[in-house]
Amino acid sequence: MKKSPLPMETTVRSEKQLYGEDGLVNLLRQHFGHSEFRGKQLEAIEAVLSGRDCFCLMPTGGGKSMCYQIPALAKSGIVLVISPLIALMENQVAALKEKGITAEYLSSTQIPHVKEKIYRELDLGKPSLRLLYVTPELVATAGFMSKITKLYTRGLLNLIAVDEAHCVSTWGHDFRPSYRKLSSLRNHLPDVPVLALTATAVPKVQKDVIESLCLQDPLVLKTSFNRPNIFYEVRYKDLLDDAYRDLSNLLKSSSGVCSIIYCLERTTCDDLSAYLSKAGISCAAYHAGLNNKVRSSVLNDWISSKIQVVIATVAFGMGIDRKDVRIVCHFNIPKSMEAFYQESGRAGRDQLPSRSLLYYGLDDRKRMEFIVSNVKSKKSQSVGSQDSLLKKSLADLNQMVEYCEGFDCRRKKLLGSFGEQVSSSFCGKTCDVCKHPNLVAKHLEELAQASSNYRKNGLSPIFINSLPNMDAEKTEFWNREDEASISDEDISDSDDGVEVVNTLTRSKLSSKSGLNERLEYLERAEEAYLKKNGPSKQAGSDKKAISETLREAAKQRLSNALKQAQQRLGNSMTEFKESASVLENECYKKYVKVGKTFYNSQVASTVRWLSSATISEINDRLHSGSTKTNCAANLNSMPPLPVISDQDPQPPELNNDKNQDRALPEASSRSLQMEIPSQEITLPPILSFSEFVSKKGKEGQSSPSSAQGKHLMKRSTAEPGKHARNDAEKRGRLQ
């Protein structure tokens, strides 16, 4: 539909003076305290105030919000802002209110009387409201559209700003089906200028956004993607003894700076959060598995500096404006350079020196490849379109892998992925490759070696050992869409109107859904499947069975971890194999019916636990008896359980073997001869790492075992320092 040339009949003469550059700069100074416009802000503002559509591509933290906030002040009437996340809306509205600017948001999380008040305000002859933030889902509802159309016919709708506009495009990294429907705005509200804003849009996405939103002859504004104040670095998990500890040390040595840590999965967020809390770091997890209230409170605590570190899935942070984030860490490989740019770009929005740190692991890479290759819908999409999306997702991931595994300047690589060509010297040693080329080259060599070892062994150290086969149909849970029930709960707003919910629910199964959405969905599907069917129904497949070889490899890992624990704690413990056998048996009993995926996770979690447990905790776990367990009938009796003594400590020695925490392909002949009990033995209940840590927290310091723990902790706290040094030596000092 054609736009009429003269929108905004309601503009009053006196306001016109504000349209001049000086008037606009005055608004900026008066309301926001900034002295000058940045980059292309002024051009964007002038364009929309003149009634022209505008597509605005500015880097993360570039100040895109100002491009619609100033117009809201420059004219009477309302600016409608479409935003993808409730948290983001809350954040911006609160900041505006603090500055005395009238702004509100509408979302499903608000109580009815607040919503009604806002709707009443919209019906007023002259609403005092300047900015109204809404979700795309709400825009799609008939009720809201009718309200906004009335506002429009009264000449009170100044501008429609579509924030994070890349969500419109199926080619973008955060596609939101509801964004697609925003095209209807142009039909209903033809005269209102539309401003599309994004920090990440490759040329194809730009075109798609402009077409999908029906922008007419838009002013296209682009600035460089470069973020000169961010130092880019990659650390290689496979070359570190313990990535958790490495990160913990880094955060501790950065003296409590504001940080975001992104993880692929909720469980990693919880585990890592528990680990870091225990290490004394002020932090909290944030993901879609937590309810709105908890998420809101984590967000508020983080924004108000009550906590310094948020450990989150990618659900956190889109557009969140905390200026002084000093470290953004990706604990798992992101799915694309676009996603990486967007997320790492949350660092240093105040333009001060900041860090992007990515922990790259070969397992993570496999895992992502697996997810990307196998998340596809059986419904509605043509094979051709699924294939091309799959190819794109794999190509996107591949770029990310090249960023990590390549020996190119990281900045150059990042900018290159957006079509910006720069020379390596452009970086000015603000990435690890440019700053420490020899060290990074050495790490890459070691990584290549580790990679070929994995291939030879056919087993991955931590993750699902069936992944090298990459056979999705036979892999547990990842594509069980059919059995899943979908939770309405989402980080984004999705419950304004039944029709919208239904549409969204269907759309979540679409192969075109954003990968974030699909990952969240799959995680929920997995949980729902387990809940509904119980573990027993999932047993029976040979592919899921926990083989003897796998069990032996797990025992070996646990035995190595026990050895390390001994070195850390300086105790004389010799019966590693028997103890490892007990711990392995716990994992086996718990997950024998569920399958090897969960079994492997439990083993990994136990290994992690061993890296920080005290002597008394290890003894408790090996000896306390609350869970009765039947062991295989054809096995002989268990040797006496080893007692780990706190006496006569040996001087600790650090084990530098990088392979010590890896599952071995073959069981050692000694461990194969190990005897396992035939009669009933008692085992302690098995806690997940996070359960364990929170339980310990609750127990406090008063119990006898914790007194002993305290004594032991004194000694053991000295040891991680040595381990940390060990990690640092291996990694070298990258900064």
CB of 335 to ligand ATP, least distance (A): 18
Which of Mg ion, ligand ATP, none interacts with 321 (beta carbon under 5 to 8 A by kind)?
A: ligand ATP
- Chain-centre distance of CA 328, in angstroms? 11
Residues in a beta bridge with 284: 310
For 209, the token pair is 């956004």
DSSP state of 78: E
Site pattern 543..582 for Mg ion (x: CB under 5 A) = ----------------------------------------
DSSP string, 79-119: EEEE-S-HHHHHHHHHHHHHTT--EEEE-TTS-HHHHHHHH
Which of ligand ATP, Mg ion, none interacts with 61 (beta carbon under 5 to 8 A by kind)?
A: ligand ATP
Contacts of Mg ion in 46-65 (CB under 5 A): 64
Cα dist from 604 to 392, 530, 609, whole Å: 32, 20, 9
Q: Which is nearer to ligand ATP, 64 or 412 (CB)?
A: 64
Longest CA–CA separation in the chain, Å:
95
3-class SS at 319? Answer: coil
Which of ligand ATP, Mg ion, none interacts with 58 (beta carbon under 5 to 8 A by kind)?
A: ligand ATP
For 206, the token pair is 């730009």
Does position 199 interact with ligand ATP (CB under 6 A)? The reply is yes
Does position 66 interact with ligand ATP (CB under 6 A)? The reply is yes
Distance between CA atoms of 67 and 72, rounded to whole angstroms?
9
Which of Mg ion, ligand ATP, none interacts with 62 (beta carbon under 5 to 8 A by kind)?
A: ligand ATP
DSSP state of 544: G
CB of 183 to ligand ATP, least distance (A): 23
Q: Which stretch binds ligand ATP (CB under 6 A): 61-69, 610-618, 667-675, 677-685?
A: 61-69
Which of ligand ATP, Mg ion, none interacts with 199 (beta carbon under 5 to 8 A by kind)?
A: ligand ATP
Residue found by looking up tokens 């200028």 in the block: 193
Candidates 87, 78, 85, 43; CA nearest to 64 is: 43
Amino acid at 577: K
Q: Which stretch binds ligand ATP (CB under 6 A): 31-39, 544-552, 607-615, 715-723?
A: 31-39
Phi-psi label, residue 341: left if phi above 0, alpha if psi -120 to 50, beta otherwise: alpha
User: Using H for helix, E for strand and C for coil, what is the string for 161-173?
Assistant: EECCHHHHCCCCC
Does position 34 interact with ligand ATP (CB under 6 A)? The reply is yes
CA dihedral 368, 137, 130, 101 (to 10 degrees): -40
CB of 342 to ligand ATP, least distance (A): 7
Site pattern 296..335 for ligand ATP (x: CB under 6 A) = -----------------------x-x-x------------
Does position 349 interact with ligand ATP (CB under 6 A)? The reply is yes
Number of residues that bind Mg ion (CB under 5 A): 2
Distance between CA atoms of 206 and 658, rounded to whole angstroms?
45
Q: Which is nearer to ligand ATP, 352 or 672 (CB)?
A: 352
Which of ligand ATP, Mg ion, none interacts with 60 (beta carbon under 5 to 8 A by kind)?
A: ligand ATP
For 390, the token pair is 């799959």
Number of residues that bind ligand ATP (CB under 6 A): 18
CB of 518 to ligand ATP, least distance (A): 23
Q: Computed over its alpha carbons, how large is the radius of gyration of the chain?
A: 28
Does position 62 interact with ligand ATP (CB under 6 A)? The reply is yes
Cα torsion angle, 162, 166, 171, 172, sign: negative
Candidates 246, 240, 350, 296; CA nearest to 109 is: 296
CB of 524 to ligand ATP, least distance (A): 27
CB of 396 to ligand ATP, least distance (A): 19
Distance between CA atoms of 697 and 703, rounded to whole angstroms?
12
CB of 346 to ligand ATP, least distance (A): 6
CB of 34 to ligand ATP, least distance (A): 3
Helix pair angle (615-623, 576-591), 10° resolution: 60
Does position 205 interact with ligand ATP (CB under 6 A)? The reply is no
Please select the residue that binds Mg ion; options are 319, 334, 348, 461, rule is CB under 5 A.
Answer: 319
Binding site for Mg ion (CB under 5 A): 64, 319
Binding site for ligand ATP (CB under 6 A): 34, 37-38, 41, 58, 60-66, 199, 319, 321, 323, 345, 349
